[in-house]
Amino acid sequence: MRLEHLMMKHFDLSRKQMKKLISSGEVLIDSIPATHVSNNVDPQIQVITVQGKQIEDSSQKYFMLNKPSGLISATIDEHLPTVIDLFNKENVEGLYPIGRLDRDTEGLLIITNNGPLGYRLLNPVQHTEKEYYVEVNGPLDSSCIQRFHDGIMFYDRTICKSAKLSILESSPSFSKATVVISEGKFHQIKKMFLCVGVKVTFLKRIRFGEFVLDSSLAPGEYRPFNSFELQLLKQYFD
């Protein structure tokens, strides 16, 4: 959450007073002076003190979800079930998925109520890698690996950034692979494979940045971030 929202929640301060405390070095984030009221913070992950008083707050939620096929990556929809519908109704306030997966795509989604976090993780400047497990209806070979590496060009002349294709199994009618991309164009993975002559029949995201899908989660299951994953989040906070 934004630092100002955290301070408003725990102290009776105006925005002007908050700015004064920050400018005087009396607000610390992990012992380093805060720089702005808009700093993204979380006392579960960082030690945040105001005039020497540590703030305790566990209102920010982070979940790892193994998205099943058939749900859309949204908070609400008039016609289709969403990934948020999987969560207990009393715990859904403010929850949203970071990024999106196509309706028929499975795998890792991060669900949170930390508004600024999604912007940080999805910001193109971060070049956050996404890794997918893919099954297709035809053969894959070294020429496909090279084309992915060089940057696939779609039929509309859009050029993708370099991607890493690793072939796990290949036959004339069925192949398995993983692919790592660092961008998120519409239906990108499916279009990339169409450009090398095969159709994706199954798609599952298994990694988002440093966050790896928990293999114990069945489709539709979720769990809170563990302590290791919470520490990984620190790089996305001020």
User: What is the pLDDT, as a whole number, of residue 90?
Assistant: 62
Q: Which of 29-43, 116-130, 190-204, 221-235 has the lowest mean pLDDT?
A: 116-130
Residue 7, pLDDT > 90, answer yes
Backbone angles phi, psi at 39, to 5 degrees: -50, 135
CA–CA dist 131, 209 (Å, integer): 8
Catalytic residue at 102? yes
pLDDT at 221 over 70: yes
What is the pLDDT of the chain when averaged over all its residues?
94
Task: Quickly state the pLDDT bin for 119 (edges 50, 70, 90).
Answer: confident
Structure-block tokens of residue 210: 């440093």
- Using one digit for the tens of pLDDT, what is the confidence trace for 156-191? 899 999 999 999 999 999 999 999 999 988 899 999
What does the pLDDT read at residue 210? Answer: 95
Q: Which domains, ranges and CATH numbers included, belong to the chain?
A: 3-54 (3.10.290), 62-125+214-236 (3.30.70.580), 129-208 (3.30.70.1560)
- CA quadruple 45, 47, 50, 54: dihedral, nearest 10: 100
Q: Which residue among 57, 85, 102, 238 is the active-site one?
A: 102
Number of Cβ atoms within 10 Å of the Cβ of 112 = 20
Which amino acid would we find at residue 25?
G
Buried residues in 188-201 as b, exposed as e (16+ CB within 10 A): bbbbbbbbbebebe
What pLDDT does 120 receive? Answer: 84
Which of 182, 193, 113 has the alpha carbon at shortest distance from 147? Answer: 193
Query: What's the chain's length in residues?
Result: 238
Model confidence at 6: pLDDT above 90: yes
pLDDT of res. 23: 95
CA distances from 169 to 164, 202, 212, 217 (A): 16, 14, 22, 24
**Ramachandran region of residue 151, left (φ > 0), alpha (ψ -120 to 50) or beta?**
left
